[in-house]
Structure 1
């Protein structure tokens, strides 16, 4: 399932929450994979979804939340700090043998951090965006989120957690990531 295949809602917030559900499922599937090849495929999908999802939030959702909700800047800054830490954890995880105990331990640490981050987003940011924006604005935001995801890097880039940084680094990083993905994509 690619990030854009969730089609049950035109609402950006609900779309992102559905992606959070898919991320939760991919963590479980990666951890429970029956063999190295399956774990590699699931981790590849998880890493890609995390990267494009966070980029879209950084480029589209967080700037809107900064403007639209009370305490927006403080809420977004806290989420960006969580995203930066998770990107570092994900980048470290990529360098570890996928069949090792260390991978399993670090994957679980990343899972806990990402799920706590998603919970904070849903309760502190997304719920409030739902309250502040009408259905048309949320539908337009979904289209913009999907466009951002289509052009987003597919690997973690710690330190690139703002709309400005994503605009400057994102296109080149996305091109390089997609080239790496073609070379390293799991076989099955």
Structure 2
């Protein structure tokens, strides 16, 4: 079995895309607590994934001359997704409009992931060494380490009652801050 610390950032992000797609589907087809857990997991994973891309992957892409138009388009899509996710969170899973809005959100997220893989990741792979991509993967793992994983003890299982998991914007902000701190202390561009 391969050492996970030897996986490069592209492999790691593509695997995350797979998990994101599975969670999107789970939210679409499940109900009750299972659906809530899938949504909570989706919020966490999207925060980890998008923050790592914004703070580490996209800057590395720019550094290695990946088209600024491609990077800017992905960043714009990520901002839209962040706002849409926060809106869905505020709306709540039981709201009558949640399903239709979530389905549209899921479609945009999948399209975004496919564009990243096709346009940005391919160029990044051509422009960087395996060692550099492994270092970039470390930053993604740092983001995962700072993302909340479960409710605080003594707090109910709902996300609304649990501020450390809390609204998506709070989760995104926490991970962005941790990654900025890490980047300022590391040699990654």
Shorter-chain TM-score bucket reads 0.7 to 0.9
Partner of residue 64, structure 2: 68
Normalized against structure 2, the TM-score is what? 0.75
* CA 122–41 in structure 1, closer or farther in 2 if over 3 Å, else same: same
Q: Could you tell me how far apart the structure 2 residues matched to 1:167 and 1:99 are?
A: 32
Aligned to 1:146: 141
Alignment match of 2:86 (pick from 91, 94, 107): 91
TM-score with structure 1 length normalisation?
Answer: 0.75
Q: For 1:48, which of 39, 44, 51 is the aligned residue?
A: 44
- The answer to whether the 8 A contact 2:8-2:134 is kept is yes
**Which residue is 2:158 aligned to?**
none
Q: Look up the match of 2:18.
A: 21
CA 105–9 in structure 1, closer or farther in 2 if over 3 Å, else same: farther
Give 1:168 shift: 9.0
2:54: which partner in 1?
58
- Could you say what secondary structure the match of 1:157 adopts? helix
Give the alignment partner of residue 156 of structure 1, picking from 168, 180, 184: 168
1:138 is displaced (CA, Å) by: 1.1
Note the C-alpha offset of 1:150: 2.1
CA distance in 2, matches of 1:9, 1:109: 36
Aligned residue in 2 for 1:174: none
Q: Give the count of matched residue pairs.
A: 159
Cα distance in 1 between the residues matched to 2:144 and 2:111: 22
C-alpha separation between the residues in 2 aligned to 1:17 and 1:11?
Answer: 10
Cα deviations by residue, 1:74-128 (Å, 9 ceiling, x for unpaired): 2111111101111111000001231233111111111011111111111111111
Write out per-residue CA displacement over residues 42-83 of structure 1, whole angstroms, 9 at most, x where no aligned residue.
100011100111001011000000110342x22111111101
Q: CA RMSD in A?
A: 2.7
User: Would you say the 8 A contact 1:65–1:129 is kept in 2?
Assistant: yes
